[in-house]
């Protein structure tokens, strides 16, 4: 994956940082993007029947915004407390890299969701989350995004009940440890064996 946003161009004085509560939404601006400074955001849309379709998960350094999508509706929900900077689209010089990142993530999520079995989809999603957003801890990699079972179900097009059952199975098998506040420790070497 392309490493992005390490050295941002200097933006004009229009650069403003805003703070958002967990489960609030980033405002949609046609000509502005949001650079996530702290926290995690999920982007999604809805089908006609109300089904949620996950479009991506984003963290510090990532850029999101309505200007990057043609979908209606296009929602940007804060999974945690979020600090984000407004970026005027006309001043954002790394648009190509931003678009590449969005395409790459969409492809990765498409492959994860293409597996036939929910347990395979979920273990692949957890491995992806731990690689992209996880931090090294004693027993593996900590996913500290506070994703609920409903969030995971929506990412995979499954039900909350199924995700709860499969997470319990993974915990019994020693693939993960579930902590308080919906945090998960993924034991990478155990997942490697599971995937074979």
pLDDT 10s digits, 153-189: 999 999 999 999 999 999 999 999 988 888 899 987 6
What span, in angstroms and rounded, lies between the C-alpha atoms of 41 and 23? 9
pTM of the model: 0.82
What span, in angstroms and rounded, lies between the C-alpha atoms of 111 and 79? 23
pLDDT at 143 exceeding the cut of 90 = yes
List the end-to-end C-alpha distance of the chain, in Å, as a whole number: 23
Query: What's the token pair of residue 176?
Result: 């993960």
Q: What is the pLDDT of residue 193?
A: 52
pLDDT at 33 exceeding the cut of 50 = yes
Q: What is the pLDDT of residue 196?
A: 42
């Amino acid at each position: 994956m392309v490493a992005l946003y390490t050295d941002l161009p200097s933006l004009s004085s229009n650069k403003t940082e805003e703070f958002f509560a967990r489960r609030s939404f980033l405002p949609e601006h046609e000509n502005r993007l949001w650079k996530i400074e702290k926290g995690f955001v999920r982007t999604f849309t809805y089908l006609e029947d109300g089904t949620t379709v996950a479009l991506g998960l984003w963290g510090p350094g990532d850029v999101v915004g309505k200007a990057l999508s043609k979908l209606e509706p296009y929602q940007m929900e804060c999974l945690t407390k979020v600090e984000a900077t407004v970026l005027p689209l006309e001043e954002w010089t790394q648009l190509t890299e931003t678009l590449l990142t969005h395409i790459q993530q969409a492809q990765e999520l498409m492959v994860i969701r293409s597996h036939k079995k929910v347990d395979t989809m979920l273990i692949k999603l957890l491995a992806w989350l731990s690689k992209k957003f996880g931090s090294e801890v004693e027993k593996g990699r900590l996913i500290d995004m506070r994703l609920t079972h409903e969030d995971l179900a929506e990412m995979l097009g499954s039900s909350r009940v199924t995700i709860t059952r499969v997470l319990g199975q993974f915990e019994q098998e020693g693939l993960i440890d579930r902590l308080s506040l919906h945090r998960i420790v993924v034991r990478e070497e155990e997942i490697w064996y599971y995937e074979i």
